[in-house]
Amino acid sequence: MNEIRNLLGRSNIIIYRQVLLAIAFLLAGNITINTVYAAGNPEHRAPESEKGFRRTFHEIELPDVTLTDMNGTRVALGSELDDDKPLMVNFIFTSCPSICPVLSAMFSQAQNHLGPDLDTIRMVSISIDPEHDTPEELRKYAETFHAGPQWHFLTGNLDDIIAVEKAFDVFRGNKMNHEPYTFIRAVNSDSWVRIDGFIGAEDLAKEYQRVTAN
């Protein structure tokens, strides 16, 4: 029993350390996100040639599914993503100890770099752990990362979430194989820009402005 307690204690310390790293990134927006992540995850440190991020273009056909937002309201994915605002989308889960706090820190800090664009954008984070991430959990998570009213969080049933992951080509079998992707789309566009890897908040805002300026 003591061994189990010790293991749980070490697990909580690891999660706590990762949250602190994410907060550190929020407070020091000029530090590259890859540096912050690698500091707490030396086994995942990218080789020099792979550091940074890569942008590619993708056509995405949204599945006809209905999800649930953090207020418990059922929303059609098409209506949530096909409105009259440019979009920034990522995939997270609230108990994630590494990648997700960093992705969420990117969104959180980007809010400070978007300026007047913040009034026109819609940011969406979709949970890939819907069995745990209830609307209540999403509300707590949103508060932790100081999400503004333009930042929406979605959950749903597992089959529907997997369908969304597959549409965005981010499904990797289970949540622990989660990879860092961010998607940006201009208004009324069929083309999405996919950011592969970790990107600083200021650069993320610049990528958004680059996409929506075209």
Give the model confidence (pLDDT) of 113-149 as tens digits.
Answer: 999 989 999 999 999 999 999 999 999 999 999 999 9
**Residue 65 pLDDT:** 97
176 domain residue, yes or no: yes
**In what order do the strands lie in the sheet containing 181-185?**
53-59, 191-197, 181-185, 87-92, 122-127, 151-155, 66-69, 74-76
Q: What is the CATH number of the domain that holds 170?
A: 3.40.30.10
- Span 3-29, pLDDT tens digits: 434 433 444 444 444 554 555 444 434
pLDDT (average), residues 48-68 = 81
**Residue 193 pLDDT:** 94
Radius of gyration in angstroms for the set of CA atoms belonging to the chain, rounded to a whole number: 17
Q: How far apart are CA 80 and CA 87, in angstroms?
A: 10
DSSP of 149-211: TTEEEEE--HHHHHHHHHHTT---SSGGG---EEEEE-TT-SEEEEEEE---HHHHHHHHHHH
Question: What is the model's pTM?
Answer: 0.78
pLDDT (average), residues 173-193 = 89
Sign of the torsion formed by the C-alpha atoms of 114, 119, 124 and 125: positive
For the chain, the domain total comes to: 1
48 domain residue, yes or no: no
Q: Is the pLDDT of residue 81 over 50?
A: yes
Q: Is the pLDDT of residue 43 over 70?
A: no
Range of the domain at 79: 2-43+53-213
77 domain residue, yes or no: yes
126 domain residue, yes or no: yes
Which of 38-42, 71-75, 91-95 is predicted with the least confidence, judged by mean pLDDT?
A: 38-42
- At residue 177 the predicted structure's pLDDT band, cuts being 50, 70 and 90, is confident
37 domain residue, yes or no: yes
